[in-house]
Structures are given as structure tokens and as C-alpha cells.
Amino acid sequence: MSDQIAITGISGFGHHGVLESERVHGQNFSADVTIFLNTRAAGESDDLNETINYAEVADLVHALIVGEPVQLLETLAEKIASAILAAYQLANSVQITIHKPQAPIAIPFLDVSVTIQRSR
């Protein structure tokens, strides 16, 4: 069983989407990130260097949300998962959920989301 670091609701204004109007006008996106790792060394040492700094992760995720546009939520989630796994060797796996509450859907809805899980 792995320990977890979770950050929910990392938000930013991005220009992701298939429709040209989404790419021109942009909209709000948010991401939920769960990182699975072993935190025993950090718990015993009380040393930030023995774990993953969640503030750094939040900055990385935000930069990708507001950064280079992609068409699919799946692609944005994949980029985030790959970046976290590349940056943090302590991460065994990640779960990423991307929320797009203003997706271009003609009927009332609360949210659209895509969730992926990636491991080393």
C-alpha cells in the first residue's frame, strides 16, 4: 500500500479544446492530483527532502494548465502525469483528474472530467 499526497482544485485559465472558439476565448480548468509514494522516510526524519514538495507540484500543474493549448483533456492529463513522474523519482504512480466545467455542451451539467492513472 502506498501513501498519498493529494492536491485538489489546482485552477487556471487555459485555451484547451477541440473547438476554435475554446482555443481563442479560453476557459477555466482545474486539476486534482494524487501522487502515490512511500512517505516513511519523511515521516521519520521530518525532512522535506525525503518527500515531494506539494507546492512545487501545484506550480508545475498550474503552468501546464495555463500553458501550451491541447485539444483533449486526456492530453492535458497525460502531460501532467508525465511531468510529475519525470520530476519526482519518489512518485510510484499518479492519478490526475482534469475538470472542464464550462465545456461546450448544450444541456445543463455541472462538470466534465477525465481521470487517468499512470505508473512507472
Active site amino acids: 100
First to last CA, the chain: 16
Phi and psi, residue 23, nearest 5°: -75, -30
3-state secondary structure of 109: coil
Q: Are strands 93-99 and 3-14 parallel, antiparallel or unpaired?
A: unpaired
